[in-house]
Amino acid sequence: IQAIETTADGNAVITLTNKIAKPTTMMDDPDYAVEVALLSRNIKFEAADDDPVNPAHGGHLMVVHTPGVPQTIHGVEFRKFGQQGNLGRYPIHIHLNVDGSGVTISRNTIRESNQRCVVIHGTHNTTITWNVAFDTFGHCYMLEDGIEQENYFGYNLGASTKITPDEGILSIAESDMFASTFWLSNPHNYIEHNVAAGAEDSGFWIELLELVRGPSQSMDPYLEINPSSHEYGYFRNNIAHSNRGDGLKLYPNGYFPETEAVFENTYSYRNVGDGVLLHNSKNLAIDGGIYADNRIQIEVDKQADDVRVSNAQVIGFSPLYQIEVEAGNRKSHCPAYRPLVGIQLHSFLRYRDSDGYIIENITFSDYGESIGCTDSSAIEMDPQTRDGHFDAFATFANLTFQDGMPMKEKFNMCFLAENEMFIHDLAIQDLSGDLNPNGNGVAGWILSDSPKMTAFLEEGTCFPMEGSCAIFCEGGCFRTMNYAINVAAEYDNLVLEATHADGRVTEFEGYFEAKTTIIQNVEVPDDYENFVYQRRKYFSPILPDGEYTLRFKKDGAIVWPEFAEETWESPPSCIPHVLDSSITLEVPTPKDEECANVINHGDAEEGTRNFWMHSGGGIEMYTPGYNSAFAFRSTRRKGTWQGPGQFLDTRCLTSGSQYEIIAMVKLEDNNGVPQNCNPNQENINAFDICPRVSLRLRHLAGNKIGDPVDVSYAYPLATTVGPYNKDDWNMIYGVFTVTESIASADTVFFFIDRARPGVNIIIDDVKMVPTVQTCQSPIYNTDFETGDARFWSKVGTTTTDMFVPGYPNLPGASTEGFALRTFSRKEFWASMSQPLNTDCLEEGTAYSVSSDILLLDANGNIANCDTSLEYGAVTVNVCPKMALKITTGNVEVDVDIADVTGPWNQGNWNSMNGIFTVTQEMLVADSVRLFWRKYEEGHDIVIDNVAVTSVEAQDPDKLMNNGDFSSGDTRHFKPARGGVISTYAGGYDDDFALIMTGRDAAYYGVRQNIDTNVLEEGVSYTASAKFKLFQSDGTTPFDCEPTAVAGDKICPVMFLKAQEPGVGAQTRLIGSTLGEKDADWNTIAGNVVFFHNEVNAPSLSLIIDRAPAGIVMVLDNVGLTKVTSTA
């Protein structure tokens, strides 16, 4: 500088010794004028040039551990300071002062810094103003650890910030190889009137982690500070220009404030990258400012949600910059392989509960071919998709475009439309009609040019937006609903058909984000992500106002994909729009075969994972299977809860229905070595824990995106039964009753879990079939002739296993047969156990109990006991008792119910007998378990032929109990698949009958189990019942048509349902309605001869149903009576 003269108007004239290229001045354009800064200061700190081996090893100044002490660094020139590659060695470093109140760093210059400029580290409340930094390496003005808050950066200039070379990088955790002039790691600071110019990378970089890093972590010991969502200070009136990267960026870790964070009046221009890049963020606003001559002026990048851009000038290739390019002083963005863009929007959001973009009060200028910017546009949709669906719904309002600007230069979605994944469902609301190609300012919607988007709009309301690959539809009001379904390959070609009330129809395809991973430098499908149980395939119909019926279809046929979770997008600002009540999703009634085995592809014989997913780790095919070619194997299990599974068809899971689960299982480690497990082990974290079946239930608390979701679990529904053979296939078995919680769940995920981590679960022949646990006995597998311990578990510290031979044979006998043994008993009450099926118990009813019992000593020899002794003061040689353990909450009550009867038979099997009466406490208890107790610990108990039998007498020729309801209640009758039964005053020929209400489906009916022990094969029986029907109000009579076989006039029928383990139910009609009435009562009648499979079925029921849905049934005199010969 040769001279500086002050003029009368307050400006200055600077005379230079040498000429420079003409800069942009205030006279040229005050918005783009260059900054002029004095680099020299009277006080100068300069590092000595005394280390030729390490010339980047300069001096450094550190203010350290002085909390609350006012300190000032003012008017100093720092030159060649900083030690490249040495952490903490910077020109000015405020280090871990915590409270920096009174610390002021102002009007300094930092030149030729080897490492950074002004670094605030673990310190709050400092003031950094009017400083100049030039020709520096690494991040310049910097908040180091992400804990620094309420610091003020104002009126600072940073120019020519350079990236740190590889040899000078502090560590892989630092990012100075992408150096920015301002690097901000906590949003709760105050940034205004700063300039970042000419950096080799970015001007302002806001990089927010989820945790405080570095030494400052000690100031946040409980990890309470999350910089990425922390309170916002402000960012306003800042300038970023002429940087080789972006002007301002939030990347890659964005910002998620609770309330909108506004970046005010930013000027970002002439940057090689983006003027502003918002990536991976939510709830941000760009308000005011000028964005010009960048590659993209404002990029609302992928996974940036709830973003507003308002009140700004967005300029593509400004006239002033065109002059500078023509003069050779600047490099143009036009033309380029990536066309110049004003505002670029993405097609997908980060979170499904987010809103998209608001673009309002924006002035666009200087785009298009007329200025040499081929394919440039004011607003462009980025071509990238996540899953093909457009969910980043945007609103445009009050947009101003340069006169004469063609439509393709205003809005361009052609690159997105050309993406093969895109499903062409873009919808953007234009509130002020600025993009209406008719130029009439009528508001409407920018839509993908696809028939499904216009199927329900009136003709003549949609117009092409020439060159933009979109159409504009005037009026209308669109809203989107989402249906999440199973990702099974079975539904690859599924469509969601939408039918308007006037008959117009269109189809919406589904979409799924298939994720990939890198294995050995090759991109492959990510089997973990693509098959984990949280994943869904989505259908998102976007519809204008109207009444619609939706149906899932495959190849033209209506299907149901196990479940469909419905969530609605936020309602649009326009009205009228579709409401919840406007949409009917048709759920077809399941066919019998669809619920005959609720597990799909359980035998693995397709050789694919169709329908199967996992709860963690992974799933793959395994060979050979159980007596077949294929099975399924879990992989990479790191938690006991992880294993293979699939979603169940929720239609089949009606409250009160029962299912039998059977699966074959074995365990291997990652090397294929067979692993053992102990079916008696109950500690889920134990080394030898065995697999079980669990359900994961999701209940949606609402149908709006963001509404709460309640997740619960039901387990165990089935367990591994002993004995377990690690070198062979083993059985998982269980029977469960569908609870109201299961029946009402929106999704039910069935999975097999609980082997220890690192062990892979291999399964085959998985079945879940309807069954009815017969009430001939409230316990099951009582003679153990299945050869396993299904239904049985244990109480106390003991182990159970099969014992050979069973009753009446003794150890060593060469005969077949099984019994159950409990050994290694640590308590007098430790034994085998089974919960009673309390649904079979009637209050006040007496039950006889019995079992055969064999006692063994600690060495396995037959032991004896003295029936005259009582357990208490004496504990040795006392005979055991059979007991009930009644558990309600944390309270357990033990009740003895049977003793050894008669004199003890030395060295042999003996019998136990007793009786108990069902109490109300038993019926309301959480569980009532049968077990054996009061026997010396360390000794073994072997049982066989256990029986719990009602002592109520029954005529063997009359198979129905309480068929005339003369008891005044509905004992022995149960709902079949749904509905509610109760006593009805006024029977056919006495005081009482049965009434069934709540029949939401025609197949809701009444059932009673038949005691097959009294059936006679080949003998004729008469089936009969009296009934009346009423409308849903229970009083208005309803007449059915006995000749109708379907429809809303069908009459009730009577049929048999036989259930065998692992086999679908077999049903047949045995009685139908006669055409004549008897005193307002209708008659069902028929004859039946029982088949062999029915006589031998473990469960046989008589069922009356098939009246139309909603109709109330009243029944009386239900009978199934043996026909006696008159000869």
Q: How many residues does the chain have?
A: 1127
Q: How far apart are CA 719 and CA 851, in angstroms?
A: 24
How, if at all, do strands 644-647 and 974-976 pair? Answer: unpaired
Considering only the C-alpha atoms of the chain, give the largest distance between any 2 of them, rounded to a whole number of Å. Answer: 140
CB neighbour list of residue 682: distance below 8 Å, 6 or more residues apart: 793
- What is the pLDDT of the chain when averaged over all its residues? 93
Confidence tier at 1127 by pLDDT (50, 70, 90) = very low
**Can you tell me whether residue 651 is helix, strand or coil?**
helix
pLDDT tens digit sequence for 174-233: 999 999 999 999 999 999 999 999 999 999 999 999 999 999 999 999 999 999 999 999
Query: Has residue 869 got a pLDDT over 90?
Result: no
The pLDDT tens digits of the residues spanning 546-602 come to 999 999 999 999 999 999 999 998 888 899 999 999 999 999 999 989 999 999 999
Token pair, residue 28, equals 């040229």
pLDDT over 90 at 83, yes or no: yes
CB-CB neighbours of 1017 under 10 Å: 12
pLDDT category of residue 870 using cuts at 50, 70 and 90: confident
Q: Give 5-59 pLDDT, tens digit per residue.
A: 888 888 888 888 998 888 888 888 999 999 999 999 999 999 998 888 899 999 9
**Which amino acid is located at 721 in the chain?**
V
Tens-digit pLDDT profile for residues 936-972:
999 999 999 999 988 764 577 888 888 999 878 887 7
Confidence of residue 768 (pLDDT cuts 50, 70, 90): very high
> Helix H segments across 775-905?
none
> Under DSSP, is residue 216 helix (H, G, I), strand (E, B) or coil?
helix
pTM of the complete model: 0.80
Q: State how far the alpha carbon of 1125 is from the alpha carbons of 322, 1019, 1122, in Å.
A: 112, 10, 10
Amino acid, res. 512? F
The tokens for 915 are 């009786």
Q: Are 714 and 741 in contact (CB under 8 A)?
A: yes
Q: Give me the DSSP letters along 947-985.
A: EEEE-----TTB--SSTT-TTSS-TT-EEESS-EEEEEE
In three-state secondary structure terms, 415 is: helix
What pLDDT digit, counting tens, does each position of 474-507 carry?
Answer: 999 999 999 999 999 999 999 999 999 999 999 9
Residue with tokens 């062990």: 759
Contacts of 567 (CB under 8 A, 6+ apart): 352, 481, 482, 484, 700, 703, 704, 705, 707
As a whole number of angstroms, the distance between CA 374 and CA 368 comes to 6
Query: Binning pLDDT at 50, 70 and 90, where does residue 1125 land?
Result: low
pLDDT of residue 1016: 86
CB 1029 within 8 A of CB 793: no
CA distances to 733, 767, 779, 1105 from 659, rounded to whole Å, are 11, 10, 16, 20
> How far, in Å, CA of 899 to CA of 911, rounded?
8
